[in-house]
Amino acid sequence: MSLIALISDIHGNIDALKAVMADIDAQTVTSIHCLGDIVGYGAAPSECLTIVRSRCETTVMGNHDLMTANPGVRLASERVAAGIRYAQDNLSEQDLEWLRSLPLVVTAHDFTMVHASLANPKEFAYLTTDEEARLHFQFQETGVCFMGHTHVPQLIFPVSDDFLWSDLTDQPFRLDERIRCAINVGSVGQPRDHDPRASYGLFDTSRRHFQLRRVPYDIEKAQKRIREAGLPEENAVRLEVGV
């Protein structure tokens, strides 16, 4: 049996990441894979990056990783830009070069890993509608694709000409090898499904069992870090409500 852990969207939240890693260490995990967005929003980009570099077998690039490592990239809102600037100021040049080197898509263990949609991965399109799913599945060649980006744990698979969208709970389930699917493992550092606990995925590659794990962590401590770093108040407030 190979039990794979999949983490995503850490966003500089070291308190959530440490809690997730402790939970992973309590499982019989054979490898850990990161689906991107190590930095941004949160106050501990360097600490998070150090853990990911040392613990993860594979890491793909997220949009916040790309923006941090490439200063010329146009930033969106000030809330996003503040986290990017903070990461740039607190990462070494070696760290930034490592972020630049990350692949956009990786296929391993008979599944695919990407931060957002497989349809033009560098554009980081969200996967939230049937049309976006249709574009994604045109490029998904493996049975399973794991992703993050929306911060919402979700299972998506084609049904005839439509798509079934199912929000994930912590109830384990088996993936049918005859049906392609995409699984969003949610967010370690900034969940947006109204559950403030950190989330990550466990995938048993031999039995094809998937389970979403929800992990409580010290949210007040993470909020204090954000406020002391002078980052936008919204970045702190949303952690306690999971939006």
CATH of the domain at 67: 3.60.21.10
- Walk along the chain (243 residues) and give the pLDDT tens digit of each residue: 599 999 999 999 999 999 999 999 999 999 999 999 999 999 999 999 999 999 999 999 999 999 999 987 776 688 899 999 999 999 999 999 999 999 999 998 889 999 999 999 999 999 999 999 999 999 999 999 999 999 999 999 998 888 999 999 999 999 988 889 999 999 999 999 999 999 999 999 999 999 999 999 999 999 999 999 999 999 999 999 998
Q: Report how many domains make up the chain.
A: 1
Question: 193 lies in which domain range?
Answer: 3-241
* Residue among 70, 59, 50 nearest 102 (CA): 59
Q: What pTM was estimated for this model as a whole?
A: 0.96
Region at 155 (left for phi over 0; alpha for psi -120 to 50; beta for the rest):
beta
Measured CA to CA, the distance from residue 222 to residue 237 in angstroms comes to 10
